[in-house]
Amino acid sequence: MPIYDYFCERCEQDKEVTHGMNEKPDIICDCGEIMKKAISKGIQFVLKGSGWTGKDLREKNYRLKRRQEVGKRMVKSHDLPQVQPNYKGEVCKTWDDAGKLAKADGINPIRYENQVKNLKETQMKVKEKNNKLVRGDI
């Protein structure tokens, strides 16, 4: 059961009383006055565990900065080639032009479009991974 502090405004006497949280008893002072509930003086609030000190936050920020630095270096040193519109090594201005070359060569246009779609998706995944490396998310 919790301990509550009560205070008498008339004689300035205080008293600790144990009772349930839902109970609202009338505590009578020695002088006969009804005492009022007071804020306890002896409450000790302690935060325990990781994450409550500034040191933990500094370490977390340091690790994030290090990951960002390493990610930037990795992106620079592992520069990946960009996929350009082409057909059999012949570079075109657009993917449509490359598709027309493939169609003229007898390639199924739907199959070629699926290959182009896969190439573009792969390129987007690589860009996203590079961005995550630079931000330090990986």
What digits encode the pLDDT tens for the residues 8-30? Answer: 989 988 888 888 888 888 889 98
pLDDT of 56 higher than 80: no
Indicate the DSSP class of residue 49. S
**Are both 110 and 65 inside the same structural domain?**
yes
**Are both 71 and 97 inside the same structural domain?**
yes
**Are both 64 and 26 inside the same structural domain?**
no
**Are both 15 and 64 inside the same structural domain?**
no
Judge whether 27 lies within some domain: yes
Q: Which of 33-42, 58-67, 72-81 has the lowest mean pLDDT?
A: 72-81
Which residues does 76 contact at the CB level (< 8 Å), separation at least 6?
none
Domain that residue 30 falls in? 3-38
* Tally of domains in the chain: 2
Residue 138 DSSP SS3? coil
**Are both 66 and 13 inside the same structural domain?**
no
pTM of the model: 0.42
Higher pLDDT, 78 or 11: 11
Other beta carbons within 10 Å of 131? 13
**Mean per-residue pLDDT over the chain, rounded:** 81
Q: CA 120, CA 122: separation in Å to the nearest integer?
A: 5
Q: CA 74, CA 62: separation in Å to the nearest integer?
A: 18
Six token digits for residue 106: 């007898």
